[in-house]
Chain A
């Protein structure tokens, strides 16, 4: 057993009160507030030990756990016969064997004033994503420094990330003070070094404290070992006392204008229509004028509904504030659904479809600029593309470096475009409306986190030129329904042959058509593009945009491109009005296409003379549900063309 400071009980409470007057204790507990914080530090800075100490001191460790801990400490502990608190905190078997924390773990303890949720985040370089994850919900960050080692590269990295994710309260915990004889000079030296760094990255303020997680100094009460830690030069406050008093984000958010992303429309019967959500900022009362974004329609709040309960304060509320989950009813019947944002009428957020943002890449597969990803912001889910980054930040030196993409754990600044306007605010102004995640459309993995800086153009300022001759008028003149027939398939699968036949048949029927052929387009419009994955995506994007203009002109557009990636075909589909994009999968097995090898390309690719050749050293992703699938091993090109024409004309 280590020596637990005897001052602990006064901070944590409790046993006497629990034993004597449980109702009084429950009343105290009921009124506690909550603070979420993260601890970050290098592997040996004593993070897990500090958390173990906080749990131990707040009596969150039970005897059976303690017995197991004592046994484990002797077996695999690194503290000799002493209790190794780190073992209590390191949860998963794999990492216990490695002796490092590899993921985000959440821990809970409470004092008389507050309940705390601690995100224990890793110190290892390859796990930046875990630290960003843990930090995203935190009100405060404890940056641990080993007093013997001072400010390390990892200290800088963790501080930068904490600042990037917008943590307002930073504690510099200079740990292991017991190993430097509680030296004031050493403490001052480290704080000065850190201050210079903090200034350079824009951290305006931090609270420095000399502690020992292992011995318990300045954790729950000022330590006798650091008598110098008082006076105007120092915070002079114990870690717990500080954690108990800093302002939490949810409270700060109440002072901002009212915003609530709509999660779900509650409509149990014709007489009730409510909009459910978690209030992101501000407060709301019945009678308040509100505006629904992005439509801009206005109404007044008629009710704030919650379920009636035992407590008289449940049921309809006179007011609700940031951090509460409620259901709002309007005085008027206006359109409002999931993804919309309800906001204060005279201070609404903007909508835009192009942003500059900081992006933290979290997947093994690097960012592909131009590829479509899902972007989730609040309750809005849209398709988005990210341009090649303007720069990436070297998190060790804070240098801005040029880069073509974002690799795992890279942090960069890039332009993001969405396929429709998104209601947003800068991340600095509002975490809920400024923070987003990117989701890979194929693997469904969360691949990035982003924080919006500002919009590059306001969507409402980009008016489509109003044209008197509408797309309907163009189509009407030609007496046809415009559409894109998007052929996809391996090289040599028969796309061009069949596409040609289809166009001839349509032409004979007096349809107005145009065939965009892969090879032809590369001679002109796309002659600046090569065959890397990025260039192939841009190739498809441009063809998609041209096809869209042509269907607006009333044409039936036929395209014949390998277009090997599902995500790009889906990107083009999303550009077109519903029902006007028909994916035609020319399904020819690789062996068959290679055997035909009309242009001799497979031979060259096999010989290594052609790189990135689809089917050989670049993948082809077959469509899951094409509108038309042509099995060329079972039908002639003529039969295939007939089938496609029939599908197009709806026969």
Chain B
């Protein structure tokens, strides 16, 4: 990765990597108590790899935080524990106790599930540990409101985002000063695209959840989405029988909310090939972006969603 390419011009991946590492180090130098939000997806995998690279030979000097919903795919939990072990970082897993007590789940509660487990859970976890800076793996190419978000994105004490009142971000000078109660969300891979992420994983052999690769898996079709029956909590309708299909996932979240695609792509180059030839955008498989019309994500972010 560090070899200088022909003509001495760094490749785009080398420059993206250098920028991300610079951001990670700035936060560690200036924040009091940083944390990395680790969602176990491919973007988190790249972000974690960059962190290990930024601080090598030291382990990254902050913990990983997984805001769990208890409804992630089993393979995600496995990889999460393995990567925490390999990186030598502390892993904090947070569950919103109220959501747990009330039995909030994606089958019965719809949008409330995301709101309580993820949005509320994240706020509670950050407040509980007093983290003042949280790394997230969001990218600007994912969604329109993300495209306008700064790399250092400030949140009020109640975790709200004010898109009209963002600090100007010049050169690679980041202003990490914050007022009492404020916290920062930092997005080190803001300028990466989906293709960059895949290519970087490919070049560096970064471990990712096997669900990204096609395999025969038990599925049912609901509202035009292919859902995987990942455990026996999946409530089958009368007469509904899971069907084995060769599927994979383009993004990973709670298994009852994440649509699979039928695919034969079993290797990384095949996955990338399929992604490049596909005609629908990445987040299309997620129910969250469809809420509240065109401004769904922007609204969620103002309320404190990452």
Contact = CB atoms under 8 A, between A and B. Distances in A.
Interface of A: 14-15, 18-19, 22-23, 25-26, 29-34, 60, 62-65, 68, 72, 91-94, 96, 102-108, 110, 114-115, 117, 129-130, 132-133, 136-137, 248, 250-251, 254, 263-264, 266-268, 272, 274, 276-278, 305-307, 309-311, 313-314, 317, 319-321, 323-325, 327, 338, 362, 374, 376-379, 431-432, 435-437, 439, 443-446, 449
A68 B296 CA distance: 14
Nearest to B293: A93
Nearest to A321: B4
B97 interface: no
A446 B15 contact: no
A263 B56 contact: no
A114 B294 contact: no
B173 A436 contact: yes
Interface in B241-289: 269-270, 272-273, 276-281, 284
Nearest to A90: B144
Given A325-B17, A325-B21, A22 B11 contact: no
Contacts of A267: 58
A276 B141 CA distance: 29
A376 B148 contact: no
B295 interface: yes
A32 B13 CA distance: 8
B12 A19 contact: no
A60 B281 CA distance: 9
21 contacts: A15-B277, A19-B273, A34-B11, A105-B147, A129-B168, A132-B170, A250-B10, A263-B29, A267-B58, A278-B19, A306-B53, A311-B3, A314-B1, A320-B2, A324-B10, A324-B18, A325-B25, A435-B171, A444-B182, A446-B168, A449-B170
Contact of B276 (A14, A93, A104, A307): A14
B155 to A, nearest CB: 13
A327 B1 CA distance: 15
Contacts of A254: 8
Given A91-B298, A323-B15, 13 more contacts: A26-B272, A31-B5, A31-B11, A62-B278, A92-B144, A107-B147, A115-B193, A266-B55, A313-B3, A314-B2, A321-B4, A321-B10, A376-B175
Contacts of B172: 137, 278, 432
Interface in B193-221: 193, 195-196, 199, 202-205
A30 B11 contact: yes
A436 B173 CA distance: 8
B296 to A, nearest CB: 10
B8 A321 contact: yes
Given A92-B144, A132-B170, A443-B179, A250 B9 contact: yes
Contact of A29 (B10, B58, B182, B195): B195
Contacts of A64: 279-281, 284
Given A91-B147, A108-B141, A325-B17, A29 B199 contact: yes
Contact of B166 (A94, A103, A114, A324): A103
Interface in B97-129: none
A310 B25 contact: no
A397 B3 CA distance: 48
A263 B55 CA distance: 11
Contacts of B16: 34
Nearest to B10: A323
Contact of A264 (B17, B18, B29): B29
Nearest to A436: B173
Nearest to A376: B173
Nearest to B165: A445
Given A117-B191, A136-B171, A324-B18, A32 B280 contact: no
8 pairs of A and B residues whose beta carbons are closest in the complex: A91-B144, A34-B12, A307-B56, A325-B21, A313-B3, A93-B295, A268-B58, A444-B177
B18 A325 contact: yes
Contacts of B163: 92, 94, 103
Given A104-B148, A133-B170, A317-B2, A18 B22 contact: no
A309 B166 contact: no
Contacts of B298: 91-93
A263 B29 CA distance: 7
Contact of B273 (A22, A117, A309, A327): A22
A247 B57 CA distance: 34
Contacts of B5: 31, 33
A25 B272 CA distance: 10
A307 B12 contact: no
A108 B25 contact: no
Contacts of B26: 263, 379
Nearest to B30: A381
A140 to B, nearest CB: 15
Contacts of B205: 309-310
B52 A307 contact: yes
Nearest to A323: B10
Nearest to B270: A22
B273 A34 contact: no
B267 to A, nearest CB: 9
Contacts of B166: 103
Contact of A108 (B140, B182, B280): B140
B82 interface: no
B85 interface: no
B186 interface: no
Interface string B149-179: 0000000000000011011111111010111
Given A72-B294, A268-B57, A114 B12 contact: yes
Given A23-B269, A26-B199, A437-B173, A251 B9 contact: yes
Contacts of B276: 14-15, 18, 25
